[in-house]
């Protein structure tokens, strides 16, 4: 029986690349989206849900289990970003960032876990960011949310290891995605010059890390950062 992967935030960028590439490898995919609609295709079922809303997440997980019987792999990819000076961040800005990026990861993981614990097997991959490791000027609330995901990953890896569940995080560096569409050509040039490998990351670079983490059976609690050497 093919393994089933639930991917959140799969309508574009890294999430879209993950769902399409892994579906080609024969996995059953439930691709979650919220605002940008996507359509089902071979091996890919789609489901609309706001990960920050627990009831919607509960219904999504229920649907996935009804369709595929179990959830073997969870990839928490849904997220938002915003560039703002710290003094200009409103309480609403802060709450929205935490609700989608951090609480969303909490919601989906907690709903998926009973099935994984019952099966004594599972793989959870949380998408963080290089800024969750180093922090980013003018992206404090984003950095905090992604740092929180790293803390959640490490704590859960310890807690869930005895249940046969591996939990890891990927913290990509600068990657060309829709989330970074406001980065100017000049800014990309500067980032490229500051990166030892002298290149900008692509979604496929992140997907390759995910493929390895899915197949590896002795790695848990780790933060893998494909960033071209930007942070050494």
Residues with a known catalytic role: 142
Q: Name the CA dihedral angle for 26, 225, 195, 175, rounded to a multiple of 10 degrees.
A: 50
Within 10 Å of residue 80's Cβ, how many Cβ atoms? Answer: 16
Q: Map residue 18 onto helix, strand or coil.
A: helix
CA-based nearest residue to 9, from 36, 27, 29, 28: 36
State the CB neighbour count (10 A cutoff) for residue 32.
30
Integer Cα distance of 4 and 155 in angstroms: 24
Beta strands in the chain (DSSP E): 4-7, 28-33, 44-48, 73-76, 122-127, 165-170, 223-224
What tokens does 231 get?
Answer: 């942070």
Distinct helix (H) and strand (E) counts, the chain: 8, 7
Answer whether 5's CB lies under 8 Å from 125's CB. no
Taking the C-alpha atoms of residue 106 and residue 196, their distance in angstroms, rounded to an integer, is 35
């Amino acid at each position: 029986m093919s393994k089933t992967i639930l991917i959140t935030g799969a309508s574009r960028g890294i999430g879209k690349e993950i769902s399409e590439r892994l579906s080609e490898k024969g996995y059953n995919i439930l691709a979650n989206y919220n605002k940008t609609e996507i359509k089902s295709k071979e091996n890919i079922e789609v489901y609309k849900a706001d990960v920050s809303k627990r009831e919607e997440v509960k219904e999504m997980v229920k649907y996935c289990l009804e369709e595929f019987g179990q959830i073997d792999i969870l990839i928490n990819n849904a997220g938002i970003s915003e560039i703002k000076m710290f003094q200009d961040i409103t309480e609403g800005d802060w709450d929205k960032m935490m609700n989608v990026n951090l609480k969303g990861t909490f919601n989906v993981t907690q709903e998926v876990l009973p099935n994984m614990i019952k099966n004594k097997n599972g793989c959870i991959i949380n998408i963080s960011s290089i800024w969750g490791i180093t922090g980013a000027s003018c992206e404090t609330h984003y950095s905090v949310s992604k740092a929180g995901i790293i803390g959640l990953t490490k704590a859960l890896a310890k807690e869930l290891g005895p249940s046969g569940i591996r939990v890891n995080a990927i913290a990509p560096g600068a990657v060309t995605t829709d989330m970074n569409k406001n980065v100017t050509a000049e800014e990309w040039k500067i980032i490229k010059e500051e990166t030892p490998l002298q290149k900008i990351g692509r979604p496929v670079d992140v997907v390759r890390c995910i493929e390895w983490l899915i197949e590896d059976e002795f790695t848990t609690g780790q933060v893998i950062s494909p960033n071209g050497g930007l942070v050494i």
